[in-house]
Structure 1
């Protein structure tokens, strides 16, 4: 009965529930005045979502493996995989390292950056945020190399323009508390860009993301994400979303690309790795929270998955467990 109630509440917006679990941490933010001729190379920042919100002028965004895109005032670009990329006056301009450019530090994470001199600079808010979350690592693999949004593409419900205007107001006048407001507005832009892509791009209707938006698979995924310690079986998950075992198993494997119970195991292991790397955690408590009846059973499962014992886990590059 309890599972049925949870499934019903999860079914209203499984994708929204998944996004709600994302924990975002700002790494760096800057307001940049970039005068043509422009050529700036941003180095890779693994594990970060990098973004550019253009408030005046225009420039080219060049991301490896993607078509160069001309960004104009009012556009917002997101590079979800933290790949190195360039901002250019022309699509073939030479680029200098972003971190070699002169800047003024305004706070712990916010700075003003200037490049070149003259009139008509390109001005933009740039930044990088990190999602220290298992779901975020899964989401990164489902997103394209770049997401570019503009006022015209958003139509009448243009949420981008007012947020950009408020962000520009904050960074140009730097009133007390301006850094806190600007960084939070930038974070909102990142989440809104992800949501807009999920809502509008056909690529978001397939695979794991498509399953999250499926009326029955979505609630099942939410149950596994939010209740990893429940002793789920194929039968109990199928029952929770009112499907037969065979139909649920076939549809899940076809959409997600792996069997239900394999996904659940990989999800538990990814959570375990994340919690072990975050700091001190008692293995017995971790095992119990993930549905294992003993510390020994959990340790065996973890070593099969990672090749290391839980006790030897350190701050290493997270495995793409569900990629």
Structure 2
């Protein structure tokens, strides 16, 4: 799929690279995820601790995305609409990124589970893009050794949780900032753990980053979002045919390369309108549009309002 001929970006700025150098793409997935996560601006906060008495239930209704850290004793998780029960052990981390309703039930009679809970949200325009493709539950257990966990999620999460507990018990200057950053780390480690264990072929751009070819393609688009991209040019840089790249990209990411690029340009446009004093024409030029009018039409299709109106609403 290509953009409307009237809004196809023209060549501006530095020329595109003619080949994909291994040095340029050493960590394409890391670079893409970092960029989206940074623009999404995750914000987390703790709600407090709950000691579950035998037979007691900690209920959370559907709504805000949340997380739980299980300490001292095990418990059980039930997601609304799902009859299955997930056993949880001390040290386990849970993120419910889509805010699905759920309940935690005590599973021990002698030692009370201590559950630290919190909320998180994304302030930036890329928040929804970041959550797309994630499952309804991110669950990492810190119990035992796991030879199938090459990234060491369990070890690092245990250290992160220990840092959070220390900050809660001994608050000082900047504790709120420290806790927010710790929640960021827990979320990233939970995503990495899920990616390490998720089956191949699942959709969504985060999972697609595991694929070396699509990871390179995404890295190229993110590195030069304002360049005059076409499927042919992108396919040539990753040594694929046009049809092969399009099919593989659509299967793993969920949309065509050019549709993904247009969506990403609009996310960048929204972020720059909110956080900079750049004129609309300047943003349009940075993102490769041949005129402010062409950019404004694309922006209105994406957000339902003109760029100038979007800026006043931010």
| Structure-1-length-normalised TM-score | 0.75
Question: Does structure 2 retain, via aligned residues, the 8 Å contact 1:29–1:126?
Answer: yes
Alpha-carbon displacement from aligned partner over 1:16-70 (angstroms, at most 9, x marks no partner): 2222121343342144032414333334454x4x211112223333333444423
CA distance in 1, matches of 2:143, 2:284: 50
Is 1:18 aligned to 2:15, yes or no?
no
SS at match of 2:116: strand
Q: Indicate the structure whose relative CO is greater, using CA pairs within 8 Å and at least 6 residues apart.
A: 2
Report what 1:125 is aligned to.
Answer: 116
CA deviation profile, 1:88-111 (whole Å, cap 9, x unmatched): 337xxxxxxxxxxxxxxxxxxxxx
Structure 2: give runs of 5+ residues left out of the alignment. Answer: 1-14
Matching of residues 1-323 of structure 1 within 5 Å = 3-4=17-18, 8-9=22-23, 11-21=25-35, 22-23=37-38, 24-36=41-53, 37-46=55-64, 48=65, 50-66=66-82, 67-89=84-106, 120-133=111-124, 135-152=126-143, 155=146, 157=152, 158-159=154-155, 160-174=157-171, 178-202=175-199, 205-277=202-274, 281-313=278-310
Which segment is superposed worse, 264-273 or 62-71? 62-71
Question: What's the RMSD between the two structures over aligned residues?
Answer: 3.2
Structure 1 Cα separation of the partners of residues 99 and 274 of structure 2: 21
| CA–CA distance in structure 1, aligned partners of residues 266 and 21 of structure 2 | 23
Deviation at 1:314, TM superposition (A): 6.3
Alpha-carbon distance, 1:269 to partner: 2.3
Return the offset for 1:197: 0.6
Partners of 2:266 and 2:302 within 8 A in 1:
yes
How many equivalent residue pairs?
Answer: 288
Higher strand share goes to which structure? 1
The whole-number CA distance in structure 1 between the counterparts of 2:300 and 2:96 is 34
Tell me the TM-score normalized by structure 2: 0.77
Assess, with a 3 A threshold, how the Cα gap between structure 1 residues 176 and 207 changes in structure 2: closer, same or farther. closer
Task: Give the SS at the match of 1:216.
Answer: helix
